């Protein structure tokens, strides 16, 4: 089982978009020895600000315009249990990375931060055997882009976020399926 947790600040825009885009992509897998049943995909927040709230309406509409239903999803905060459970902790921006320090024990946070920085510098998220090097990554790094996922909460540009999420999830899934 490949377990992926997407994380953003509030868990009402970017991370649920990534969660449901990736779920759709794994449902559509072809020519791979992996299938949807091989994946567990979820999303969470680094903050407590939106806990219990549904996906933000413009994000919901963007997903729906691409045939993706996210009904029933409500925001929740990431926990240390999530860190222990998931194989991949995929963040939307650098602020999410910094905010993990409030969720993870200090030694784990510092280890993940160091592994993330090493992996990012070498553009290598997997070792020669295909094993994961650290759990933490930024979604756009999977697509070879050294930048954050566009945040529609501030920009209002849900199309740009859709493009980033789609590109990042496609690249990540391709790497996992290798």
What's the start-to-end Cα distance of the chain, in Å? 15
Three-state SS at 46: coil
Q: Provide the phi-psi class of 134: left if phi over 0, else alpha when psi is between -120 and 50, else beta.
A: left
Instruction: Give the active site residue among 82, 93, 141, 151.
Output: 151
> Beta strands of 46-153 (E only): which ranges?
88-91, 136-138
Instruction: Give the active site residue among 13, 14, 82, 141.
Output: 14
Instruction: Give the active site residue among 8, 13, 70, 169.
Output: 8
Distances (CA, A) of 84 to 12, 27, 115: 23, 25, 16
Residue 8 known to be catalytic: yes
Of 68, 16, 4, the residue nearest 40 (C-alpha): 4
Enzyme catalytic residues: 8, 14, 151
């Amino acid at each position: 089982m490949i377990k992926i947790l997407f994380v953003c600040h509030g868990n009402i825009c970017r991370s649920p978009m990534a969660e449901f885009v990736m779920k759709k992509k794994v449902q559509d897998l072809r020519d791979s020895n992996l299938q949807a049943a091989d994946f567990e995909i979820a999303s969470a927040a680094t903050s407590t600000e939106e806990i219990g709230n549904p996906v933000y309406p413009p994000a919901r509409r963007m997903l729906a315009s691409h045939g993706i239903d996210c009904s029933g999803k409500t925001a929740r905060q990431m926990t240390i249990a999530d860190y222990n459970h998931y194989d991949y902790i995929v963040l939307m921006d650098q602020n999410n990375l910094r905010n993990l320090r409030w969720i993870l024990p200090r030694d784990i946070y510092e280890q993940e931060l160091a592994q993330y920085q090493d992996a990012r510098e070498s553009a290598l998220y997997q070792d020669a055997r295909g094993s994961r090097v650290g759990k933490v990554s930024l979604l756009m790094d999977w697509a070879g882009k050294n930048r954050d996922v566009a945040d529609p909460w501030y920009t209002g540009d849900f199309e740009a976020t859709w493009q980033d999420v789609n590109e990042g999830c496609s690249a990540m899934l391709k790497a996992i399926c290798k």
